[in-house]
Amino acid sequence: MGGLALIAREAGHQVSGSDVNIYPPMSTLLGAEDISVHSGYDPSQWDKAPELAIIGNALSRGNPLVEHVLSQRIPYTSGPQWLMAHLLPGRSMLAVAGTHGKTTTSAMAAFILDHNGRTPGFLIGGVPGNFPVSARLGAGPWFVIEADEYDTAFFDKRSKFVHYRPEVLVLGNLEFDHADIFDSISDIEKQFEYLLRTVAAEGTIVVNADHPVLETLLQRGYWSQIVRYSICGAETAQWQATPHQSDCRHFDVFRHGQHLATVEWSIIGRHNMANALAAIAASDAVGVDPVQACAALAEFRLPQRRLERVNPGDAIALFDDFAHHPTAVRETLQALRSKNAPGQLIAVLELRSNTMKRGVHRDALGKALALADVAVVRRRADLEWDPAELALDPDRTTLMVCDTLTQIVDTISDKAKPGDQIVMMSNGNFDGLKEMLQAQLG
């Protein structure tokens, strides 16, 4: 919604918004663009009724502003519907879908297109490292969008991505998430089936061949060109990537078995190599020379809060990451392990998403956290389970469950030593833990 506000302002609209607990980096971006954000949902914040209310999917019946909009008959719509009807008619869409990696892959695709003179528009659910904003209209024919499977609005329970009708669609992975709106993985798969039906016959679907569930999804029906990519050597994949070393800072890119280029960048992790290969294949479908796409990635910077080092130069490395699903937690910890740092790997996790609050993935989470030497988990008051129940081998991983941020800071201060790596993982701002740890470790 913040990105939508940015491009609505760019298009000439007068924009304001309402939210609770807004935090950087989006709050900083909105402030820089002079978009006012009111705290809370009191209808008195409106001096006059807006011409149109765009209602985000976090709001439902009973919300004071929602009730005010309905009772006063103020015109309203959803973000995806308004975007496609009013800002992007006639634009070609490159959409990135999947449970993980959407923000990073979208940012990569937008950067590759921009670096090669395409001047794309984009709407990304984070702040890209190579652009000052998370969204822009762009001057070229292509628009890159992070295609989210979460529902559209309280009055439209379809996934947001069914509105976008992409010419190029990336399917990176598919796992169970969003337990607050989906009862099972089959519910999510049904929405992805609908998404496949929106891609025209001359469109291209770029599929991660390393995820069998995506192949099962395709067997239910598709009507477009299929391009597959793999970092695990899947024989069905036209696009392949092979790392030079375990941290994947250098990797070779192949198409139909022919070596095209070597990507050399400072980014680590097999998941980021997979994201890059998806972006290269998608850019090729747009018409960008893949050799030039690989060269562009040398200058790519990860979006904020994607394994972001927040204290460069300090003896104890502190990272901030958006990981909150067990798979993302595992990939983040594996990436840091691949650096072969001399000290401990300390994971600090907030179970903030609705899925994780319910404990749906507690077994998988225990396996993911086993990659850390020390796992510090916040016991939030709204959890429906106790993180102390996580099954971790005490001889391999020390589990520390903390009720307060102060306890977390004290625990880190006691455990951390020079040479260690600490990674904070949350899909929120962890209530300012980053700043507290920076002050303590600095």
3-state helix/strand/coil string of 194-256: HHHHCCCCCCEEEEECCCHHHHHHHHCCCCCEEEEEECCCCCCCCEEEEECCCCCCEEEEEEC
Give yes or no for residue 388 having a pLDDT over 90: yes
Name the CATH superfamily housing domain 308-441: Mur ligase, C-terminal domain (3.90.190.20)
Residue-wise pLDDT for 210-250, tens only, equals 999 999 999 999 999 999 999 999 999 999 999 999 999 99
Please say if the pLDDT value at position 442 is more than 80: no
Any idea what DSSP says for residue 44? G
Q: Where in the chain is the domain with CATH 3.40.50.720?
A: 2-80
User: Rounded CA gap, 132 and 136, in Å?
Assistant: 10
181-198 mean pLDDT: 94
CATH architecture of 88-299: 3-Layer(aba) Sandwich (3.40)
pTM of this prediction? 0.93
pLDDT at residue 53, as a whole number: 97
pLDDT band, very low/low/confident/very high, at 178 (cuts 50, 70, 90): confident
Helix axes 326-337, 362-369, angle to 10 degrees: 10
Residue 69 in this model has a pLDDT that exceeds 90: yes
What was the pLDDT predicted at 176? Answer: 87
pLDDT for the residue 142: 98
In the prediction, which pLDDT does 292 show? 98
CB 29 within 8 A of CB 133: yes
Q: Which two tokens stand for residue 170?
A: 């990336």
HEC readout, 136-147: ECCCCCEEEEEC
Looking at residue 22, its pLDDT comes to 79
Tell me the per-residue pLDDT of 257-286, one tens digit each, with 9 for 90 and over. Answer: 999 999 999 999 999 999 999 999 999 999
Residues 6+ apart with CB under 8 A from 170: 94, 95, 96, 97, 98, 105, 109, 206, 278, 279, 281, 282
Q: Which residues, other chains included, contact 58 with Cβ-Cβ below 8 Å and sequence gap of 6+?
A: none
The Cα 148–Cα 56 span in angstroms is: 13
85-119 confidence digits (pLDDT tens): 999 999 999 999 999 999 999 999 999 999 999 99
- Please say if the pLDDT value at position 32 is more than 90: no
Q: Is the Cβ–Cβ distance between 11 and 41 less than 8 Å? A: no
Question: Residue 335 pLDDT more than 90?
Answer: yes
Q: What are phi and psi of 266, to 5 degrees?
A: -95, 5
pLDDT at 27: 85
pLDDT at residue 26 in the model: 81
Architecture of domain 2-80: 3-Layer(aba) Sandwich (3.40)
Cβ-based neighbour number of residue 57 at 10 Å = 20
The pLDDT of residue 254: 98
Residue 255: its pLDDT value, please?
98
Query: How far does the chain reach from its first CA to its final CA, in angstroms?
Result: 35
Give start and end residues of each alpha helix (H) in 287-431: 290-296, 326-337, 354-357, 362-369, 405-415
Write the single-letter amino acid at 82: W
Phi/psi at 411 (5° precision): -65, -45
Cis omega before residue 25 (within 30°)?
Answer: yes
Exposed/middle/buried for residue 215 (C-beta within 10 Å: 0-12, 13-18, 19+): middle
Q: How confident is the model at residue 7 (pLDDT cuts 50, 70, 90)?
A: very high
- Residue range 34-50: average pLDDT? 92
pLDDT value at residue 196: 98
Burial bucket for residue 337 (CB in 10 Å: 0-12, 13-18, 19+):
middle
Per-residue pLDDT reduced to its tens digit, 390-427: 989 989 999 999 999 999 999 999 999 999 999 999 99
Q: Which pLDDT score is estimated for 79?
A: 97
Residue type, 428: G
Comma-separated ranges of CATH 3.40.1190.10 domains in the chain:
88-299
Listed in order, the ranges of the chain carrying CATH 3.90.190.20 are 308-441
Under 8 Å CB-to-CB from 384, ≥6 apart: which residues?
357, 358, 359
